[in-house]
A and B are shown apart, each in its own frame.
Chain A
Amino acid sequence: MSDAGNQTTTGTGAWTRPLWAGLRSWDAAVLLGLVLVVLVGSAAVDGAGTPRFWRFVILEIIPIGLIALPMTLVIITGEIDLSVASVLGLTCTAFGQMWAWGVDSLPLLILVCLALGAVLGAVNGLFVTGFGLPSLAVTIGTLALYRGLASVVLGNRAVADYPPAWTLGSIRAIPGTTIPWAVLVLAALAIGFGVLLHATPIGRGVYAMGNNADAARFSGIAIRRTKFWIFVVTGVMSALAGVFWTLRFASARADNGTGLELAVVAAVLLGGVSIFGGRGGLVGVVAAVALLATLRNTLQLAYVPANTLTIITGSLLIISVVAPYVAGMIRARLRRHRPVSTTTPSAG
């Protein structure tokens, strides 16, 4: 995989040199940031870095991570899906309502919820690829529609009487550790998405269409079909996150996960994916999800109020887009001051 990860240029037009084979400098920066936060946090804050700490961090990472994986593909193709948190919420209420009606087979409940997620994602896909509408506006519409439907299903109620086998089972640790077993599912899916994006023809097509849809079409890439299925997969993953959410918090409410879409988008952008499409990778995104969750929990333990965390998340997001610009400016200024090698013009 010597040059598999490094075939695209950064936003400022400068050529990114890999820090080591297969990694872009942004990914490396985020990983470095994660390591820093972990080291400094464990040292400076009481309770950070303990197994119990990691347990909570990972429980928080799971739903965001599940949704961030397909969201990465969505944004690289040049689209966006703001309805993911509403899909999560609607799935929660569907789960709760079905349970309230007496459906007590967990596999069946999960299956129906995933199917629901696929349908909701397909609706997004249909509007964007079938009718050719801008995904920002469409998913703002479905954000409202799906959340609204969640309200219709459960109203103000909450369904919270699930069997402990399910709720405790969802957060049970891997024997011998405190790490929740569910993280293995996330890890497997992350590897799957990573391979898909970076080492398969589908992934090549995703990058091509994110950069130049016309050229991709002329090269035989099925743009609409690919985008449609990416939206479907996003719906399924959001639904999976919804199932986990319901069982982890042992409660299904219409407002579950409100605002999560912004956290996911923030993590994906911080992970180095360009909002313009065509650039970015999964390693950075996974690292960014971990970084944000670790930071949040570390600061919580340090009794930093939640507001500050909000401010920090927002600032990191802004920095994530301003930094490349600043870096580009610095590079340009350095180039100007470096002596230009003059080649004597040949006569004639």
Chain B
Amino acid sequence: MMSPPPSPSGPPPSTALRAEPDSPARPAAGARVVRRALVVREVGIVAALVLLVAVTATVNPRFLSAQSVKDLLLGSTILAILAVGQTIVVVSRNVDLSVGSVLGLAAFATGSLFVASPDLPIPVVLLAGVGLGAVCGAVNGALIAAARVPALVVTLGTLYVFRGLDYTWATGRQINAADMPPAFLRLGTRTILGLPVLTMFAIVVLVAAGLYLRWYSSGRELYAIGSNPDAAHLAGIPVGRRVFGAFVASGALAGLAGVLYAARFGTLDANAGLGFELNVIAAVVVGGVAIFGGSGSVYGAAIGAVLLVTIGSALPVLGVNPFWQRAAVGVLILAAIGLDRALSARLARRLRGGSGGV
């Protein structure tokens, strides 16, 4: 029988109802369970990718030929870069729907720059594209961070505004591959040791973003903001500044993607990037990034991008009507979010069970 605790000032007997002592929590169980779940998620999507490739290669071994793999990598590069940028924004509980329009603007800007002065060094053009994207991202970030307005609505608006600007700029004009310096176009097709140069850009971006989000304080703060925005304010995290930065990053990466898009396709019109935003969100969701922020990794998002592109290429090989591709993407998104919900429910139950929570 529990007795009231001894107290220096001899109080009246305790009238609160007391519980028996809780059983001590198993110390490392919580952390282990979470780590395992995260790994399962990422391993799961890699497994899906491997399975898809294996099945398709069995049907037609040419699917794994050097050319085919190169095409796959090239095809997923642009989407992967966009997905990395989107992840940075989504983990902070925001979304950037304007990335397709920014890509289009940057691509057309690249083409126009080269048409105007064909001798421009490629790094300068890269910087210009990234810079333009960063400016667009800054517009988004300023509106969202300063006015604290929902990102969905703002980036929906800038999706329209940036696309409109792109159309205005590109009215009637089209930039042909012939207008671009061959060195630049080669960037889009060159490979080093079998790996396309474009993909190397993506890998660098991916690793840099991954390291930043995992090992840098401001990166962790983005997760904090997505996990609990009110607590983030209370904890003294400069939420406005971080969110602004996230959108600048997303815009910059969309700008980079635009330049690479120009290198890959050469022929550009005002429709470049039209509708990309939904594929990007699909890649991110499939890759395990929570749509409400707080968790997920750029690696998962990148794999999600590769998976989506691979499906597109695999379907014709498997003899499936290519018109099924979009539907397949839809099913994949639904399956991914369903799976995540099931996983996190199980996770929550395991964690609660181990800590003796109320």
Contact = CB atoms under 8 A, between A and B. Distances in A.
A226 B249 CA distance: 40
Contacts of A265: 156
B345 to A, nearest CB: 9
Contact of B337 (A134, A307, A312): A134
Q: Is the contact region of chain A dominated by helix, strand, or loop, or is it mixed?
A: helix
Given A144-B282, A325-B148, A308 B157 contact: no
Contacts, number: 148
Given A145-B331, A152-B327, A322 B149 contact: yes
Contact of B321 (A152, A259, A317): A152
Interface residues of B, number: 45
Nearest to A146: B330
A143 B165 contact: no
Interface string A305-325: 111111111111110111001
Interface in A97-144: 127, 131-134, 136-138, 140-144
Interface in B266-316: 275, 278, 281-282, 285, 291-292
A138 B334 contact: yes
B128 interface: no
B343 to A, nearest CB: 13
B153 A143 contact: no
Contacts of A318: 143, 153-154, 157-158, 161
A304 B330 CA distance: 37
B325 interface: yes
Contacts of A326: 147
Contact of B152 (A147, A275, A311): A275
A49 interface: no
Contacts of B166: 307
B156 A317 contact: yes
Contacts of B158: 314, 318
A15 interface: no
Interface in A321-348: 321-322, 325-326
B213 interface: no
A133 to B, nearest CB: 5
A5 interface: no
B62 interface: no
Contacts of B278: 140, 143-144
B326 A314 contact: no
A305 B330 contact: no
Interface string A15-28: 00000000000000
A269 interface: yes
28 contacts: A133-B337, A138-B334, A140-B282, A141-B282, A141-B333, A144-B282, A147-B326, A148-B324, A148-B325, A258-B275, A262-B156, A262-B159, A269-B153, A275-B153, A305-B168, A307-B167, A309-B164, A311-B164, A311-B168, A314-B157, A316-B157, A317-B160, A318-B143, A318-B154, A318-B158, A320-B153, A321-B147, A325-B149
Given A141-B332, A318-B143, 4 more contacts: A140-B281, A310-B161, A318-B154, A322-B147
